[in-house]
Amino acid sequence: MNKQTIKDIDVKGKKVFCRVDFNVPMKDGEVTDDTRIKAALPTIKYLSEQGAKVILASHLGRPGGEVVEELRMDAVAKRLSDLSNKAVIKTDQVYGDEVNQAVSQLEDGDLLLIENVRFEPGETKNDPALAKEFASLADFYVNDAFGAAHRAHASTAGVAEHIPSAAGFLLERELEVLGKALSDPDRPFTAIIGGAKVKDKIGVIDNLLDKVDNLIIGGGLAYTFVKALGHEIGKSLLEEDKIELAKEYMQKAKDKGVNFVIPVDVIVADDFSNDANTQVVNIDAIPADLEALDIGPETREKYAQIVAGSKLVIWNGPMGVFELETFANGTKAVADALGKTEGYTVIGGGDSAAAVEKFNYAEQMDHISTGGGASLEFMEGKELPGVSVLTDK
Ligand SMILES: Nc1ncnc2c1ncn2[C@@H]1O[C@H](COP(=O)(O)OP(=O)(O)O)[C@@H](O)[C@H]1O
Ligand SMILES: O=C(OP(=O)(O)O)[C@H](O)COP(=O)(O)O
């Protein structure tokens, strides 16, 4: 990476404004998954141990520029304190007198967490005035929020225009692992793309076709391709205006000699529920009144075989509606195959990471990215604003 990292800056006795991604799942005021907090600990601990006064900032949810009580950072501060074994000072303001006062009282090594930055309307607009406020608090800016690095916001990008900056360990590691996977891949290189966000993901396929040996499509994404092949897809998920693009991609795969793999059989259902009536049908035999909600047994077998023979596998998006047990087998089979392969496995955040956790395969994966959208945009070849703003080495 051609950007400074925290190892390149001397933070002893300095104030450091450190953006982290503490956008964690919450229920009834409690943090239900602290993976992202744990992932930022090495950077936070390092800064503290080096004697920095650490000012942490994150968004939580999408409060839309106003105070939403349930999205305050107090529970996150508490969990951070438990995990780091250190007191965490928490302000109720994002900036202003309370924050200034708290910062002025920090001792070397102390941790402070400001309020949810998205309570300020200027955050997502990358308002220069808010960026300056953040910068005025500190001597250095450190970005460790990989999950939000695809956002050009005041605390992820604007702030770095005013003070020297560096990448934290998590950001550095994510970029290194994902970057290596894409620039110098071990082969056969297989990408598995599934899930439901057809619009968000279809662009990634184009870029991946220039890099992979096998491109496996599953989940709701598959049916736009099945339709593009001229088959009936019943009530399955379809992005009508992407059919032409789907055809283009399948042609591109052919031209480039990429093995483009879509399901050969699927599980169709009469209802989006665990009690639905289901049946296995071939991909060219989806009944008009039913919806395909998972890949079928033959497809599971086929995908597992490709994964077993791969040296590098990246996976983003579940194979079916894995939240419902009835339609979880495809996702489980792929998770199992990734767990068993000798190849290097990278999970691209979001629901795939959740599925891998849920089905207890997390330990067996080589890298589980903390960013869903961020890892996808990175793999698409887009520059991440939260990275490009950082000071060059
Ligand atoms: N065949 C399908 N039909 C409808 N929804 C699906 C299907 N397969 C998977 N999904 C849904 O896709 C969602 C995840 O999609 P997405 O957000 O794109 O994945 P990720 O978060 O991993 O990027 C899950 O909630 C899952 O239920
Ligand atoms: O959870 C996040 O994104 P992800 O679900 O794509 O990993 C990040 O914290 C970014 O949040 P945002 O999509 O509200 O900007």
- pLDDT one-digit tens code per residue, 26-74: 989 999 889 999 999 999 999 999 999 999 999 999 999 999 999 999 9
What is the whole-number distance in angstroms between the Cα of residue 197 and the centre of ligand 1? 7
pLDDT at residue 382, rounded to an integer: 85
Residue 148 has pLDDT above 90, yes or no: yes
317 touches ligand 2 (CB under 6 Å): no
Asked if residue 227 and residue 165 are part of one domain, the reply reads no
Q: Which atom of ligand 2 is nearest to the CA of 370?
A: 7
pLDDT tens by residue, 311-335: 999 999 999 999 999 999 999 999 9
Asked if residue 237 and residue 133 are part of one domain, the reply reads no
Asked if residue 357 and residue 252 are part of one domain, the reply reads yes
Binding residues for substrate: 21-23, 36, 59-62, 118, 151
Asked if residue 214 and residue 124 are part of one domain, the reply reads no
Arithmetic mean of pLDDT, 108-120: 98
pLDDT at residue 227, rounded to an integer: 98
pLDDT at residue 1, rounded to an integer: 82
Asked whether residue 58 is assigned to any structural domain, the reply reads yes
Q: Which of 172, 207, 236 is the last residue before a domain boundary?
A: 172
pLDDT at residue 255, rounded to an integer: 98
Q: Which atom of ligand 1 is nearest to the CA of 372?
A: 23
Asked if residue 199 and residue 153 are part of one domain, the reply reads no
Range of the domain at 258: 185-379
Asked whether residue 48 is assigned to any structural domain, the reply reads yes
pLDDT tens by residue, 338-393: 999 999 999 987 789 989 989 999 999 999 999 988 998 888 788 999 999 999 99
318 touches ligand 1 (CB under 6 Å): yes
Binding residues for (2R)-3-phosphoglycerate: 36, 118, 151
Arithmetic mean of pLDDT, 186-204: 90
Residue 307 has pLDDT above 80, yes or no: yes
pLDDT at residue 295, rounded to an integer: 98
Asked whether residue 261 is assigned to any structural domain, the reply reads yes
Arithmetic mean of pLDDT, 103-126: 98
Instruction: Please tell me which residue in 3, 15, 19, 36 is annotated as part of the active site.
Output: 36
21: exposed, middle or buried (Cβ count in 10 Å: 0-12, 13-18, 19+): buried
Instruction: Please tell me which residue in 197, 235, 242, 300 is annotated as part of the active site.
Output: 197
Q: pLDDT-derived band of residue 232, with 50, 70 and 90 as boundaries?
A: very high
Asked if residue 164 and residue 139 are part of one domain, the reply reads yes
> Quick check: is 79 catalytic?
no
Closest CA to 206 of 170, 238, 251, 164: 251
Residue having the nearest C-alpha atom to atom 2 of ligand 2: 147
Least confident residue range of 7-16, 218-227, 279-288, 352-361: 352-361
pLDDT > 70: percent of the chain: 100
Phi and psi at residue 86, to the nearest 5°: -140, 150
Ligand nearest to the CA of 193: 1
Bridge-partner residues for 54, per DSSP? Answer: 16, 111
Asked whether residue 232 is assigned to any structural domain, the reply reads yes
pLDDT at residue 134, rounded to an integer: 98
Asked if residue 237 and residue 281 are part of one domain, the reply reads yes
Higher pLDDT, 177 or 89: 89
CA atoms within 13 A on the CB side of 193: 27
Arithmetic mean of pLDDT, 254-263: 98
Asked if residue 338 and residue 231 are part of one domain, the reply reads yes
Arithmetic mean of pLDDT, 140-167: 98
Asked whether residue 13 is assigned to any structural domain, the reply reads yes
> Quick check: is 350 catalytic?
yes
350 touches ligand 2 (CB under 6 Å): yes
Number of separate domains in the chain: 2
User: What mean pLDDT is reported for the chain?
Assistant: 96
What was the ipTM of the complex prediction? 0.92
Q: pLDDT-derived band of residue 228, with 50, 70 and 90 as boundaries?
A: very high
Residue having the nearest C-alpha atom to atom 12 of ligand 2: 148
CATH of the domain at 343: 3.40.50.1260
Asked if residue 278 and residue 226 are part of one domain, the reply reads yes
Q: Which of 172, 195, 228 is the last residue before a domain boundary?
A: 172
pLDDT at residue 197, rounded to an integer: 86
354 touches ligand 1 (CB under 6 Å): no
Asked if residue 363 and residue 255 are part of one domain, the reply reads yes
Asked whether residue 180 is assigned to any structural domain, the reply reads no
Asked whether residue 126 is assigned to any structural domain, the reply reads yes
Asked whether residue 361 is assigned to any structural domain, the reply reads yes
Phi and psi at residue 280, to the nearest 5°: -95, 130
Q: Which of 118, 137, 172 is the last residue before a domain boundary?
A: 172
Residue 110 has pLDDT above 90, yes or no: yes
240: exposed, middle or buried (Cβ count in 10 Å: 0-12, 13-18, 19+): exposed
350 touches ligand 1 (CB under 6 Å): yes
pLDDT tens by residue, 76-103: 999 999 999 999 999 999 999 999 999 9
pLDDT at residue 205, rounded to an integer: 92
Asked if residue 189 and residue 167 are part of one domain, the reply reads no
61 touches ligand 2 (CB under 6 Å): no
pLDDT at residue 201, rounded to an integer: 86
Instruction: Please tell me which residue in 311, 373, 381, 382 is annotated as part of the active site.
Output: 373
pTM of the model: 0.86
Asked if residue 25 and residue 129 are part of one domain, the reply reads yes
Q: Which atom of ligand 2 is nearest to the CA of 373?
A: 6
